[in-house]
Amino acid sequence: MQLKKETSLKNQIKDNLTKYRNFPMVPRVIYGPGSFGQLGEILMPHRKSSDAPIIFLVDDVFEGRELAERVPLMFDDQLIFISADEEPKTEQVDVLVQKLLSDHNDLPSGIVGIGGGTLLDLAKAVAIMLTNNGPASDYQGWDLVKKPALYHVGIPTISGTGAEVSRTTVLLGPHKKLGINSDYTPFDQVVLDPDLTLGVPADQWFYTGMDCYIHCVESLNGTFLNAFSQSYGEKALDLCKEVFLEDLPEDESREKLMMASWHGGMSIAYSQVGVAHAMSYGLSYVLGTKHGIGNCLVFQHLDEFYPEGVKLFRQMQHKHNIHLPEGICASLSDEQMDTMVNVALGLEPLWQNALGPEWRQIMTPSRLKALYEKI
């Protein structure tokens, strides 16, 4: 008996030492060129009644284009075109939620986001905020959402953000750029149709693809990494190298980048992004710089943190003839620069992952400011 008690105590201690996240995966995914055509059938069992519509949030670049016609509207469904010219905002989420509540007597049956990271993040946030009270900014952070979101579906039309599979929805709030990171955030359904990424402009394709490449480099070089995240991150990185450094046929390239984005998003499960994302969040907050190009602007100057990664990035940039703007931070006021530095340094988990628990001694405000000044 004594032995048993001791063993049991030992086990309890062992069990309490480490605590892992029980990671929520997207429970349904359909993959294939043309799979968007099955959306109507997929949504049907989730329609609660003819008064509970499905709301489609669609990137406004598709206004008047074929994709918009193919959206399977029924009953009181609403298709709302939204511009992705700016990063998604908590206020924008609040306005959308109020509009939907006043437009319909019943709660919607579901929210479908069709577009890039902006539209996917808006769809996730709206689905959460339709069942949780208060402003969206109250939920920016880790595990603050208490009630399950409405059924929500993500359909990427550009590859790289990983928003289709991630546990977060990154929003610009009144005080910070930060995700609503919760078990209720991931989509209930994702449709991966590589044909939808046809016609993405070359620069957007590059910047968004680099979002994937950069967060893989950050994840694989981070201190949080484990074998689960490593395996996804390595595969995503391999696929990025194929897509951006080899000469694949176009359709194969689109299919592979869509999978790179998927695996890249999964690699964050037990990991985190790092220096580039933290700094890019600061840029977005103060200058409204879009996430994809923001990452590139920052990452090119991070040789000292990610030497191999930055070297390959430059090769990719050269191969695809991408010229990044310069002097972005040249005309910032001291106050703006301070805000940028503070927003970036506020993202503790990212710095911990990148530089370890003693990160504050490594990344001082003045060192960060000097990095920003290069951009």
Any contact of residue 152 with a second copy (CB under 8 A)?
A: no
Q: Can you tell me which residue has the tokens 């000469």?
A: 247
Verify binding: residue 199, a second copy, rule CB under 8 A: no
Among 9, 25, 95, 144, binds a second copy (CB under 8 A): 25
Structure tokens at 204: 């957007």
Indicate which single residue of 1, 2, 17, 102 sits in contact with a second copy (rule: CB under 8 A): 17
Contacts of 253 (CB under 8 A, 6+ apart): 242, 243
Which tokens belong to 303? 């040789």
Stretch that binds a second copy, among 93-101, 262-270, 303-311, 334-342 (CB under 8 A): 262-270
Question: Whose Cβ is closer to a second copy: residue 266's or residue 340's?
Answer: 266
Residue 303: exposure state from Cβ atoms within 10 A (0-12, 13-18, ≥19): middle
Q: Which is nearer to a second copy, 200 or 375 (CB)?
A: 200
Determine, following the binding rule CB under 8 A, whether residue 37 of this chain makes contact with a second copy.
Answer: yes
Closest Cα to residue 350, out of 282, 254, 266? Answer: 282
Round to whole Å and give the CA distance between 370 and 147: 43
What is the footprint of a second copy within residues 328-367 (CB under 8 A)?
A: none
Among 29, 73, 107, 322, binds a second copy (CB under 8 A): 29
Residue 98 carries which DSSP code? H
Residue 224 within binding range of a second copy, rule CB under 8 A: no
18 part of the interface to a second copy, by CB under 8 A? yes
- Residue 256 as a binder of a second copy (CB under 8 A): the answer is yes
Distance, in Å, from the CA atom of 328 to the CA atom of 265, rounded to the nearest integer, reads: 28
Q: How far apart are the first and last CA of the chain?
A: 67
Residue 42 within binding range of a second copy, rule CB under 8 A: yes
Residue 228 tokens read as 């689960």
The site for a second copy (CB under 8 A) is made up of 4, 7-8, 11, 14-35, 37-38, 42, 66, 69-70, 189, 192, 194, 226-228, 231-232, 234-235, 238-239, 252, 255-256, 258-259, 262-263, 269-270
